[in-house]
Amino acid sequence: MKDNNKFVIIISGPTASGKTAFADKLALKFNGEIINADMGQFYTSFNIGTAKPDWKNGAVKNHLFDILDEPKDFSVVEYKNLVLAKIKEIFNKNKTPILVGGSLFYLKSLYFLPIEFQNKKDNLNLINQDNKIYSWDLLNQIDPERATKIHKNDTYRINRALDIWYNFGIKPSQAEPVFNPEFNSLFIYLNMNKNILHERINTRTKLMFNSGWVQEVEPYINTEWEEFFKKKGFIGYYEIAQWIKNGKQENMLPELINNIVCQTRQYAKRQETFWKSFKLLLQNSNNKRFICKILEINDLEKINLESIKL
């Protein structure tokens, strides 16, 4: 799907930076439709804790929310195929596709071809429920740069990284992606002042609890979803599940909330770190039609939308 005359807008940034509100404004300005790029918001079960917008009732048409209703992985290849189809569909309506979300790993797949490595059978048993931490430690010995970017419970990416090493003798962090975008794009990343971002995270986390986050998690206690919370690292869900199972002790609630706030801040920092390396890849890739624009945003109300051009 090569289209040299039309542009896709991509909006990303750390969690709680105001991507959704900003995207809605841009969609109205550019006659756009929004495509979700937040992993947690793919799942029908995750609403409050993922800050999922009211995507069905807004003024702007939205796509790729609530597309998974069971606890299963959703690969970047699957995501890329769906997104490219949606982009084509939106272009055919003479509208502007606007991708919005903080899952930069998925967004990266739209620019760089995934490196396909085939598993060798004698390496497939490195990862199982009993040796997750051992396997992460093994990866950390081989390639600490890659290990620090993978959660210890993320068996899929640990396994993939180890497989690259054992099959090809290449450190996963050194595997070079191939730049191959299929559309022109304007990439907007919301860099927010750290203190302001932390305050927004504090406020949003408390609002999530007041809006019924605990009640959202309760139906999934002792189901396969509970292990999925932990496996995927969806912030807050597994921790709330454990708090519920331990009797909902009110005196432990402030500690739970603080723990989730701290995890969210750490996640925001990881997003920013990922963006820095991703941005360098984009800037160093040879494509004259690609535009990479970074906006420093501290107050969405003061953004001059007229200054944003395709």
Point out which residues pair with 184 in neighbouring strands.
7
Can you list the positions of beta strands (E) in the chain?
7-12, 32-36, 62-63, 96-100, 112-113, 178-179, 184-191, 291-296
SS3 annotation, 39-57:
HHHHECCCCCCCCCCCCCC
Q: Report which DSSP code applies to 152.
A: T
Residue-averaged pLDDT of the chain: 87
Residues with Cβ within 8 Å of residue 83, at least 6 apart in sequence: 35, 37, 64, 99, 110
Q: Which of 164, 171, 122 is nearest to 142 (CA)?
A: 171
* Ranges of each domain in the chain: 7-113+177-307, 121-174
Question: Domain 7-113+177-307 adopts which CATH fold?
Answer: Rossmann fold (3.40.50)
Question: Does residue 294 sit in helix, strand or coil?
Answer: strand
Which band of pLDDT confidence, cut at 50, 70 and 90, is reported for residue 194? Answer: very high
The pTM for the full model equals: 0.80
- Confidence at residue 190, expressed as pLDDT on a 0 to 100 scale: 92
pLDDT above 80: residue 203: yes
pLDDT > 70: what percent of the chain? 86
Number of residues written out for the chain: 310
**Cα four-point dihedral sign 208, 209, 215, 218:** positive
Q: Which of 93, 152, 94 is nearest to 127 (CA)?
A: 152
Q: Which residue has the tokens 């599940």?
A: 241
114 neighbors 27 (Cβ within 8 angstroms): no
pLDDT digits (tens, 9 = 90+) for 6-18: 899 999 999 999 9
Question: Does residue 68 sit in helix, strand or coil?
Answer: strand
- Confidence at residue 192, expressed as pLDDT on a 0 to 100 scale: 86
- Confidence at residue 134, expressed as pLDDT on a 0 to 100 scale: 54
Same fold for the domain at 7-113+177-307 and the one at 121-174? Answer: no
- Confidence at residue 204, expressed as pLDDT on a 0 to 100 scale: 98
pLDDT digits (tens, 9 = 90+) for 93-136: 999 999 999 999 899 999 887 555 444 444 444 444 444 455 88
Indicate the class that CATH gives domain 121-174: mainly alpha
Point out which residues pair with 43 in neighbouring strands.
68
CA distance 61 to 222: 36
Rounded to an integer, the average pLDDT of 259-280 is 93
213 neighbors 240 (Cβ within 8 angstroms): yes
pLDDT digits (tens, 9 = 90+) for 131-188: 445 588 899 999 998 888 888 887 777 887 887 787 777 788 877 677 778 888 899 9
